[in-house]
Amino acid sequence: MARNRFYVVQVGRSPGIYSSYWDAQRQTLRFPRGYLKGFTSLAAAEKYFGMGTESSCMPDKLQISTSAEARNSLKVYADGVCRGNGREVAQGGFGVYFGFSDPRNRQGALKGPQQTNQRADLAAVLCAIQLAAKEQIPAGMQRRPVQIYTKSSYVIFCLTAGYQKWVRNGWQTASGAPVKNQDLIADIVTEARQSGLLVSVDHIRKNSRNVGIERANEMAAYAARGAMDNRDINDLTYRISNVAIA
C-alpha cells in the first residue's frame, strides 16, 4: 500500500498542504474541529484542498470573507526572495503558485533599483491579485473570494494594521520617516479594491514545509537567479566590448 506523502489541513491554524505529517499535525493539534487528511500524490492533495470547506481560522486579512464565499475561494501561494539582500548586487524574484502544473503559475524578476526581500514578497502578492482578477466569478456569487498565503509577517502587517496607521499619518512612520515600500503597499490595496475580488491574505509560518509556499519559493529563487545571471552576462559583454584593441 502506497504511503501518504502529502497532508491536507482543511481546518487548523494554517490551512494548506504539508509534506510532513508532524508539521501538519501541529496545525490541528488542540485546534477546534481541526482536521487533516493524507494523500499519496500532490495532485490529489491539491484537488481535495481546492474543493474547500469552511475555514475555522482565517486571521490577518485584508478583507474578511463569509463562510459561503470561503467554500468557493481560490487559493494562491505567493513568495519572494532576494539574492544578495542588502548588497548593491542584490536581485529579487517572486513566485505565485496556484497548483501542480497550473498554467496560471507565475514567476518574475523584481524590477527597479530597490532590490530587497520585503519588496519581493510584496510584488508576489500584487502579482497574485492581478492574476486572480482574471478569473471568472463562480455562478451565484457577486465577487470571487481569493485566499493568498504568504510566509512574510511583514506583508501581513503592511496590509492590516500598518496600512491603516500609515494612511492616517500621511504615509509616515511614528518617527516621521517616509514609509518604505509605500508604492507596492498602496498598489496592492488599490488592486484588491478595484478588482472586485474578496481578498484575504493569510500567514503561514516559515519552515512549516507547506508545499504551496515551497513551490512559490522555488519559482521566486529561479527567477532571481536567472535575472542575476543575465545581468552578469550583460555586464561582461559590455566590459569586453569596451576593451581597447591594440
- Sequence spans of domains, the chain: 6-51, 69-234
Q: For 106-144, write each residue's pLDDT tens digit.
A: 999 999 999 999 999 999 999 999 999 998 776 666 777
Higher pLDDT, 158 or 67: 158
CATH 3.40.970.10 fits 6-51, yes or no: yes
Percent of the chain whose predicted confidence (pLDDT) is above 70: 82
For residue 65, pLDDT over 60 is answered with no
pLDDT at 106: 97
pLDDT at 135: 83
Pairing of strands 91-97, 74-83: antiparallel
pLDDT at 180: 96
Phi, psi of 91 (to 5 degrees): -145, 125
pLDDT band at 71 (very low <50, low <70, confident <90, very high): low
Asked whether the domain spanning 69-234 has the same topology as the one spanning 6-51, the reply is: no
**Which residues make Cβ contacts (< 8 Å) with residue 90, sequence separation at least 6?**
82, 83, 84, 115, 116
pTM of the predicted model over 0.75: no
- pLDDT averaged over every residue in the chain: 81
The CATH number of 69-234 is 3.30.420.10
For residue 91, pLDDT over 80 is answered with yes
Q: Which amino acid appears at position 23 of this protein?
A: D
Least Cα distance to 77 among 191, 223, 225, 201 occurs for 201
